[in-house]
Amino acid sequence: MTADAADIAMSLDAVRTLARTTLLRAGLSAPHADAVAETMVAGERDGCTSHGLYRLLVATNSIRAGTVRTDAVPTRSEPARALVRVDGGGGFAQLAFETGRGMLVEKARAYGIAALALNNVVHFAALWPEVEWLADQGLVALAFTPSHAWVAPAGGTKPVFGTNPIAFGWPRPDTPPFVFDFATSAVARGEIELHRRAGRSIPDNWGYDADGAPTTDALAALNGAMRTFGGHKGSALAAMVELIAGPLIGDLTSRESIVADGGAGGSPLGGELILAIDPAGFLGDAVDAHLVRAERLFAAIQGQGARLPSQRRYAARAESLAHGVRVPARLLADIAALVEQA
Q: Would you say the C-alpha torsion 7, 180, 258, 272 has a positive or negative sign? A: negative
| Choice among 38, 50, 98, 319 that is catalytic | 50
| Choice among 32, 44, 51, 235 that is catalytic | 51
Distance CA 134, CA 139 (A): 6
What residues have CB less than 8 Å from 304, skipping those under 6 apart? none
Q: What is the dihedral of CA 208, 159, 275, 30, to 10 degrees?
A: 90
Q: Phi and psi (nearest 5°) for 229? A: -80, 150
77 annotated active-site:
no
Residues in the chain, overall count = 342
| Choice among 29, 38, 98, 191 that is catalytic | 191
Three-state DSSP string of 176-238: CCEEEEECCECCCHHHHHHHHHHCCCCCCCCEECCCCCECCCHHHHHHCEECECCCHHHHHHH
Orientation of helix 30-45 relative to helix 55-65, angle to 10°: 150
50 annotated active-site:
yes
For residue 179, the cross-strand partners are 169
**Nearest residue to 101 (alpha-carbon basis) of 125, 72, 133:** 133
295 annotated active-site:
no
Strands 178-182 and 166-170: antiparallel
- Catalytic residue annotation: 50-51, 191
